[in-house]
Amino acid sequence: MWIKKLLLILLLCSVCQAAQIIRYVDPDAAGGGTGLDWTNAYTSLDAWEAAEQQDLTDGAGDIMTVYCRSSGGTDDTTACTILGWTTSATSYIEIIQTDFPIDGVFDGTKYLMARRSCLIISENYVRVGPLQVQITVTGNGIGITVETIDAGGSDIRIDSCIVKGICSGTGLGYGIHCNDADVTVNIFNCIIYGLISGEDISFRGIQSTASTALNIYNCTSFGNYYGLCRTGGVMNLYNCASFNNVDDVFGAAVTDHCASDDGDGTNAQDFTAEATDWNKVFTDYTTGNVSLKDYTTSPCCVGKGVDDPGAGLYSDDIISTARTSTWDIGAFEYVAAAPPTGGQVIMIGEL
């Protein structure tokens, strides 16, 4: 989806530049400030946010698109809070990583927000993704959080993100956190892993503390203490894979067509054999590669989801592979290997 989204944005810009504001972030940029092109890109997402705050609804209504990359492999290590903007359903902010790994597997040489806490969304109508985030936690830290938004009726989307935790000690570590009673947040095609530190229960892949609705679609959460957890608000899960966590799913209002080690929810795929099942289903979860193998015997993920659970919100997977009926579970849609190309057949002898 994000590749198609990028092409659509470029097309819209060529038709009507006034409605599109484009800025750039590259920690290795030589210019480091004007944000008008890659050469003069902002060196952090926070620098972009501080310089560009504005009323996007003033006049014709603009969309603020910020493209992120790391041309030299340097991490973005400054926390960013999106606050002080005026947005609407048609005048929104979107953050897109242009060097996102094409295979959907974490890559530290690409653009990466990396620190204890990375991105706080405190405005309505913000879309994030694809984006890589790494949380290094020795106490408290959160990768992406939605909180303290003044008005309800929001449309916040977190799409095709990889959130990785490197955790130790005791404290709190969330990959993605929703903590506002007024907001509606849709998370889809995301991979969240590594949010675990011994027996500390306050480490969680995705956490709902407060929300009107936190809808999680086609996400994969693994190797955390809690994979997908609700202690407040409303959390709904569809087509999600949550496995190899101490507890896969906790407190969700709806868990439908999901795969887990506990067989959580309705229409469930139950990985009762745990590691045996994981190795059958996923390419190599030990390296963060949770693309799907060609395995269709239950419990599995291929063809076991429900079609279009987000009702038009998205139609492809984390690497822009189109989803086809019946949709798969998790961030990836299975893709069969291409057949070998045919060569010339040489016949010897008479027919």
193 Cβ contact list (under 8 Å, min separation 6): 163, 164, 165, 175, 205, 221, 222, 223, 224, 288
Phi/psi zone of residue 257: left (φ > 0), alpha (ψ -120 to 50 degrees), beta? left
Q: Would you write out the chain's pLDDT as a tens digit for each of its 351 residues?
A: 656 555 544 444 444 444 889 999 999 987 777 778 898 899 999 999 999 999 999 876 799 999 999 999 999 999 999 999 999 999 999 999 999 999 999 999 999 999 999 999 999 999 999 999 999 988 889 999 998 776 656 789 999 999 999 999 999 999 999 999 989 999 999 999 999 999 999 999 999 999 999 999 999 999 999 999 999 999 999 999 999 999 999 999 999 999 999 999 999 999 999 999 999 999 999 999 999 999 999 999 999 999 999 999 999 999 999 999 999 999 999 988 656 555 444 344 443
| CA–CA distance, 57 with 18 (Å, rounded to integer) | 12
DSSP conformational letter for 293: P
Question: Does the global pTM surpass 0.95?
Answer: no
* CA 43 – CA 333 distance, rounded (Å): 34
Task: Record the tokens describing residue 150, joined without a space.
Answer: 């003044």
> How buried is 82 (Cβ within 10 angstroms: 0-12 exposed, 13-18 middle, 19+ buried)?
buried
The values of phi and psi at residue 17, to 5°, are: -65, -25
DSSP annotation string for 34-62: --SSSTT-BSSHHHHHHHH--BTTSTT--
Residues in the chain, total: 351
H-assigned helices in the chain: 2-15, 45-52, 275-281
What six digits make up the tokens of 325? 């009926």
